[in-house]
Amino acid sequence: MYTVPQLTDFSAEALERTVAELFAALESEAAKVTSDSDFKMFRDRWIARKNGILTQVNDVWLKGAPKDAKRDVGARVNALKVKVEEVIASAESRAAAGTSSARVAGERVDVTLPGIHRPIGMEHPVMRTMETIVNVFKAMGYSVGEGPEVETDYYNFESLNFPPNHPARDTQDTIFISGQEQKRQRDRLLLRTHTSPVQIRTMEKHKPPVRIVIPGKVHRNDAADASHSPMFHQVEGLAVDKDITFSDLKGTLDHAMKALFGSSVKTRFYPSFFPFTEPSADVQISCFKCGGTGRLSANEPCRLCKSSGWIELLGCGMVDPNVFEFVKHNGYDPKEITGFAFGMGVERLAMALYDIDDIQLFYAGDVRFLEQFA
Ligand code: DAH
């Protein structure tokens, strides 16, 4: 480590040599600066007011010089200060860039270092569940359709047998598009509250027979909580042909539930109401967690089915003849044909499948939750 020597010989050659030694020390210390903290130590060692090398040079060389050498020593000390400052400035910029001449010279590629890991994305659990449901029906010969998320009052309500101002509309708290007042009611736009409007859109385009599933996003004016979200997903189903009966509906959905939840689940069709089906039913499956007993052990109730032994999963029914009236012109004469329809909430199904107790987890984007499905 360089220390400032005492000067006894003030001859030009002696001064030259002493200054050269100082520069050599300066350069070699500067070359070792690779980081910010290195740089600060280096800078303080050389130019700190108190006891920095420049201060020592001033005290030891200049103040200690005999009168007749003062001029020469002073000039050399001034030149030396300029040089020291230059070297410090360039060390600083190298430290900031994170390199040093020493490191560049000795640099090697370390092939044993772990690489940069960029995790590959995965299908969102809601999308995966939607896909799984759709595939169950594809395997039964259903095709897949889609429809718009911004829908008219006609498709979302009227043609599904919700007449204007009918109280059944209140069961689907609707988000309306603003500025529609000047249009006829049936043309006013809203965010579809269910995927059922695609039933009518499909029957307008295709003559019977029809077997179709329709996955998609829907919106309701519901406050977000553990079981509600203003946006969620549904899969709609529609089968129309001659002689389709309620037992076709039961057989189809019983098979679908077994395909999704395991062959030991039972299904139960519980009377319900939807304007566009008659009769209508809610489909419940026996709880696959507790085996339908309502409890996991003698004193532990089953949370999944709330001790009831049954989980309600979807709505369904026989297509109401009033619905066919809206598409009669395309071969859907209610005297000739019948059909069944069903609609299920994808999140609700995913929550049952994966035992998730808060729907908001699907939308929070927390990787710790999502990566469990990878
Ligand atoms: N669209 C209904 C809802 O969102 C669900 C539904 C029930 C769809 C019965 C159907 C059906 O196709 O037949 O609450």
Task: Find out whether the beta carbon of 343 lies less than 6 Å from any atom of ligand 1.
Answer: yes
Nearest residue by C-alpha to atom 7 in ligand 1: 315
Nearest residue by C-alpha to atom 3 in ligand 1: 194
Task: Find out whether the beta carbon of 169 lies less than 6 Å from any atom of ligand 1.
Answer: no
Structure confidence at residue 77 (pLDDT): 84
**Distance from the alpha carbon of residue 347 to the mean position of ligand 1, in angstroms:** 15
Task: Find out whether the beta carbon of 196 lies less than 6 Å from any atom of ligand 1.
Answer: yes
**Distance from the alpha carbon of residue 342 to the mean position of ligand 1, in angstroms:** 6
**DSSP string for residues in 169-200:** GGGS---BPSS-TTS-GGG-EEE-SSSTHHHH
Cis status, amide bond into 279, omega within 30 of 0: yes
Instruction: Give the strand pairing for 277-286 and 310-319.
Output: antiparallel
DSSP 56: H
Gap between the terminal Cα atoms of the chain: 57
Across 51-178, where does the E strand assignment appear?
Answer: 143-144, 150-152
Structure confidence at residue 152 (pLDDT): 98
Task: Find out whether the beta carbon of 274 lies less than 6 Å from any atom of ligand 1.
Answer: yes
pTM: 0.71
**Distance from the alpha carbon of residue 348 to the mean position of ligand 1, in angstroms:** 14
Please state the atom number of ligand 1 nearest to the C-alpha of residue 234.
4
- What are the tokens at 151? 């829908």
Structure confidence at residue 149 (pLDDT): 98
Task: Find out whether the beta carbon of 341 lies less than 6 Å from any atom of ligand 1.
Answer: yes
Structure confidence at residue 105 (pLDDT): 64
Per-residue pLDDT tens listing for the chain (374 residues): 888 888 888 888 888 888 888 888 888 888 888 888 888 888 888 888 888 888 888 888 888 888 888 888 888 888 888 888 888 888 888 888 765 455 566 778 888 989 888 888 899 999 999 999 999 999 999 999 999 999 999 999 999 999 999 999 999 999 999 999 999 999 999 999 999 999 999 999 999 999 999 999 999 999 999 999 999 999 999 999 999 999 999 999 999 999 999 999 999 999 999 999 999 999 999 998 899 999 999 999 998 899 999 999 999 999 999 999 999 999 999 999 999 999 999 999 999 999 999 999 999 999 999 999 98
How many residues are recorded in the chain? 374
Interatomic CA distance for residues 21 and 4, integer angstroms:
10
Task: Find out whether the beta carbon of 277 lies less than 6 Å from any atom of ligand 1.
Answer: yes
Structure confidence at residue 262 (pLDDT): 95
Nearest residue by C-alpha to atom 12 in ligand 1: 342
**Distance from the alpha carbon of residue 354 to the mean position of ligand 1, in angstroms:** 23
